[in-house]
Structure 1
Amino acid sequence: MSRKSYYEGLAADYSRPGLVSDELKAQMIQRSAEIGDLQEAILPNIDADYSLEVIEAENREFWPTHCEALRQSRGDLLTKEYRPDLVYHCQDGPFYGIKEQQKREKHWWAIIAQPGVTMVWPIVQFWGEFTHFEWICLDDNTGEQIAKGSVCWVRRGHRGGCYYKSEQLTFVRDVFASEELLKLIST
């Protein structure tokens, strides 16, 4: 079996540190803000006008914007990715609704996006509404693993946003973020 990059055909490669230029980072943040504003109040139907192929293409476009928003501690943009009625299954959950998980998830974001740590997503796979990915946070100085996880999103493209998320998280070094790290997450 031949291996290929999971990022083939995507706008940016977040599989390792140092692969995204500053110019492209800025473009990803701008596009993240734009995509967040496209979410409709009612989850759109999958039909001839909004097919799974269109949804998957939008999820592929969205993916690098999500990675950059996390790397830049942009909690404001990350929150816009979810529908208000999000269902989030994880070891600290389940959480129902976007408000219920915010207090806990803010700690996770602060730990994985802290200065001196780079988050990478070596695996990302798409199938219609589904995006499966695995992530690792690496200490920039020591190379040690800070945290890792495996996630499945169900995201109905730009118009629908993420309405279901299942995640297994493992925090190796920290479980709750310090007040200093929490202050770095924009809200």
Structure 2
Amino acid sequence: MSSRKNYYLGLKADYSQPGLVPDTLKEKLIAEGIAYVAQKEATLPAIDDSYTLEVIEQENKDWWPTHCEALRQGRGDILTGEYREDLVYFCQDGPYSGLEQQQEREKHWWALIAQPGVTMVWPIVMFYGEHTFFEWKCVDDETHETIAKGNVTWVRRGHRGGCYLKTEQLTFYRDVFAPDSLLKLITT
């Protein structure tokens, strides 16, 4: 059996539990997330000698903390920008195709997991080429109960490609639809 490890070794920030990311780094990560979204090309780039799986994997490692911070801050503009126009999204009430089909449902998910008094954490994240797998959970800051959890695989062709396939299993324990007061907190 292999030994346990810190999945965040070598990454810019550790999102495995609350309170590990300094405030000074949070805004830098948001700015980087915006910059990464701006690099996405209209056509999915080829994996070749100039854009290798190793380069793509490193870009995905650089992107990961920006994604986590965007979710914690409810930055739906960044989160949507991470997807390709032809996204395929498999989840229990999908599949969804493109950016329109999942939009109504996903904004409720984002509002619930980014609500005040709840902190989203990602205890496990693994990278392999253009594949990123992670487990997440949302913890109530006061009661410490898990209000939602799941696991996700993104197929993301680095900054130039963005995410073109997402698979997700998610479970909400406390709420399924967000009230309007929480939906208004998500940046669109």
What's the TM-score, normalizing by structure 1?
A: 0.99
Residue 83 of structure 1: how far off its partner (Å): 0.2
- Distance in 2 between residues matched to 1:163 and 1:77, nearest whole Å: 15
Structure 1 residue runs of 5 or longer lacking an equivalent are none
Aligned to 2:87: 86
Aligned to 1:4: 5
Name which of structure 1's ranges 95-104 and 50-59 shifts more when overlaid on structure 2.
95-104
Structure 2 residue runs of 5 or longer lacking an equivalent are none
Q: Once superposed, what is the RMSD of the aligned Cα atoms?
A: 0.5
Residue 16 of structure 1: how far off its partner (Å): 0.4
Aligned to 2:24: 23
- What is the total number of aligned residue pairs between the two structures? 187
Aligned to 1:176: 177
Q: Percent identity?
A: 68
- Could you give the per-residue CA deviations for residues 82-112 of structure 1, whole angstroms, max 9, x where no partner exists? 0000000001110000111111100000000
- Distance in 1 between residues matched to 2:50 and 2:99, nearest whole Å: 28
- Distance in 1 between residues matched to 2:158 and 2:99, nearest whole Å: 18
Q: How does 1:1-187 map to 2 (within 5 A)?
A: 1-187=2-188
- SS of structure 2 residue aligned to 1:100: coil
- Could you give the per-residue CA deviations for residues 135-177 of structure 1, whole angstroms, max 9, x where no partner exists? 0000000000010001000000000000000000000000000
What's the TM-score, normalizing by structure 2?
A: 0.99
User: 4+ runs of 1 displaced by more than 3 Å?
Assistant: none
- Distance in 1 between residues matched to 2:39 and 2:102, nearest whole Å: 22
Residue 124 of structure 1: how far off its partner (Å): 0.1
